[in-house]
Structure 1
Amino acid sequence: MSGCEPGGSVGAFLCQAGQVLRAAAVEAPRQEARLLLAHAMGCRQEDLLRDPRAPVPPEAEALFRRSLAARARHAPMAYLLGEAGFWTLDLLCNPATLIPRADTETLVEAALEAFPERAAVRRVLDLGTGTGALLLAALAEFPEAFGVGVDRNPEAAALARANAARNGLADRAALLAGDWAGALAGRFDLVLSNPPYIETAAIPGLMPEVAGHEPALALDGGADGLEAYRALAAALPALLAEGGRAVLELGAGQREAVAALMEGAGLRTLGCRADLGGVPRALVLTAGR
């Protein structure tokens, strides 16, 4: 961090860190500087503002400098802080998984709308579970349910297990490494999935925090963005219990194409819930025409 002397004050570090982030075209540079320094010092942002002349301890300074340099290279804040909020959960995050997003909460809302009687859901499946966000949010809302989450990346499955324990849900969840539903038997009342759906050629044009840092395995939906949906269409008819529902996340403009794939596999579209931006985001399906 150019111009910041070792052993400097909180105020000096924040001022100069804000300049570094502003030069790197990071949005809200002052706020992000406070977040990074509070994380490094193990305190709240309000504590930094209360005493701007306080010295920054050497061990906190070292962590702050590393985090600041990474953020200036557009490493996502959630990876640097190691956590993110989703629904009612506090989730650990690392570069093995996508960062949970508010748009994905639309799938939880759609699931709750599909099952107004919470006790009706006993078995939940999350395909491509990542941090475990969707599965764990569903288990928090459906108290009688047991859930299975599957991810192709063993590191992601391990992180999801840690998140289940962190949120008091470890005894109601099995988090597995596997290729979609290949190793699963049995049927589920609710199947959730936020699959990779970005067209391969479009990934380099995404914001740098995503294109340069989030895992390509969880982003790349193939040439047309629909590769994972084809695998889901093949698997879902055998996974849904009678009266069961599947809720799939969609990318912008994918509603008609994904619905056609699912209906071609013998599923029936019940509706599609839009996110807060008005984008059709959560496609709700059931077995049978």
Structure 2
Amino acid sequence: MTIEGVADALRAATVQLAVASDTARLDAELLMAHALGLSRGDMLLRQRDLGIPDTFPALLDRRLSGEPIAHITGTRDFWTISLSVTPDTLIPRHDSETLIEAAVDHFATQSPATILDLGTGSGALLLAALAQWPGAQGLGIDASPPALAVAQGNAMRLGMADRAVFRLGDWAQDVESPFDLLLINPPYIVADLPLSGDVLREPASALFAGADGLDDYRRIAPDLLRLIAPGGMAAIEIGHDQAASVTALLKERGLAVALRRDLAGHDRCLIVTNPG
């Protein structure tokens, strides 16, 4: 088949990618837009007038080899912001936006003044929250210096470096002040669970959490009561089958817990408050 333009190239790439990706058409469009130096929307609007860039086949080969789109393009959209990502951080998933949605509903017409993001990674949750509430200040904690460098770079590019502080740390250890909003997306995959797809290229330290997937929840739970300010909340991401087990851990610490599902209907977020 002769490929004459961008539209033909996208169709051909979609067929190739369908073997390895559940989002083949989207992948092809994102790669083409990246090769052209355009947004996906602009590329789609102008595709009939554009030529196929020389770099596109190499980008397609990288995706066919299993490299995540976000690592190839170096960016990922999340909530209302666009983030730089690297193999040093977990790729932000749209499912995690459920945590921000829960916070928006909780605070309604109010605004959290202080935000804590434990396990900040690329800074996705903290920076999304700071974009949502321009008057807020935030602290992001992570155990990975390379991840913190990515988060700091994102804060600078988004014009939030004066509102976001990033610090090396071990969950909430040495974090003292209470916060209006806590955002927490810890590792929660059972150790040695066979994985496939993009997740194979992501840091294991951001994925696995012991024999039952609950190790990090156990470490985080004891600090929540003191860290949630009056009227505040914590939004904690969980695996699809962990609602009951993590809720039990949190209630043992005297916390009130409610469940929120993501757009696909899967258990995704625990909303935690201080009943006192």
Alignment TM-score, normalising by the size of structure 2: 0.88
Partner amino acid for 1:209?
D
Q: Which residue of 2 aligns with 1:244?
A: 232
Structure-to-structure mapping, 1:222-233, within 5 angstroms = 222-233=210-221
Report the CA distance shift for 1:65/1:231 in structure 2 as closer, same or farther (over 3 A).
same
Please name the residue that 2:263 is paired with: 276
The structure 2 residue matched to 1:219, chosen from 173, 182, 207, is 207
What corresponds to 1:46 in structure 2? Answer: 44
Change in Cα spacing, 1:35 to 1:117, as seen in structure 2 (3 Å) is: closer
Cα deviation 1:103-150 (Å, max 9, x = unaligned): 11111111112212424x211100011111111121222233210011
What amino acid is the match of 1:21? L
1-structure distance, mates of 2:25, 2:125:
32
Letter in 1 for 2:116: L
Unaligned runs of 5+ in 2: none
Preserved CA contact (<8 Å) 2:5 2:48: no
Give distance in 2, aligned partners of 1:233 and 1:42: 44
1:72 is the counterpart of 2:64? yes
Distance in 1 (CA, whole Å) between partners of 2:178 and 2:255 is 15
Partner of 1:21: 17
- Alignment partner, residue 171 of structure 1: 162
**Cα gap change, 1:283 to 1:39, in 2 (>3 Å):** same
CA contact (8 A) 1:124 1:189 kept: yes
- Which residue does the alignment assign to 1:36? 31
Q: Distance in 1 between matches of 2:140 and 2:107?
A: 20
Contact 1:10 1:48 in 2 (8 A): no
Q: How many angstroms apart in 1 are the aligned matches of 2:146 and 2:14?
A: 33
Alignment of 1:76-155 (within 5 A): 76-119=68-111, 121-155=112-146
Q: Determine the C-alpha separation between the residues in 2 that align with 1:115 and 1:35.
A: 35
Residues paired across the two proteins, number: 273
Task: State TM-score, norm by structure 1.
Answer: 0.84
Contact 1:38 1:48 in 2 (8 A): no
Distance across 1 between alignment mates of 2:152 and 2:268: 26
Deviations 1:239-259 (A, max 9, x none): 222332111011112111111
TM-aligned CA distance change 1:141 to 1:19, over 3 Å: closer
**Which stretch has the larger CA shift, 167-176 or 110-119?**
110-119
- 1:49–1:198 CA distance, 2 compared to 1 (3 A): same
**RMSD over aligned Cα atoms:** 2.6
Contact map agreement 1:200 1:223 (CA 8 A) in 2 = yes
2: CA distance, partners of 1:55 / 1:260: 55
Report if aligned partners of 1:191, 1:246 keep a CA contact under 8 Å in 2.
yes
Contact persistence 2:7–2:48 (CA under 8 A): no
**In 1: Cα distance, 2:209 partner to 2:101 partner:** 24
Q: CA 1:30–1:147 in structure 2 vs 1: closer, same or farther (change >3 Å)?
A: closer
CA distance in 2, matches of 1:112, 1:30: 32
Cα deviation for residue 10 of structure 1 reads 5.7
Q: Does structure 1 conserve the Cα–Cα contact (< 8 Å) formed by 2:179 and 2:228? A: yes
Partners of 2:196 and 2:83 in 1: CA distance: 23
SS at match of 2:116: strand
Which blocks of at least 5 consecutive residues in structure 1 are unaligned? Answer: none
Are the aligned partners of 2:78 and 2:124 in contact in 1 as well (CA < 8 Å)? Answer: yes
What is the rounded CA distance, in whole Å, between the counterparts of 1:67 and 1:183 in structure 2?
43
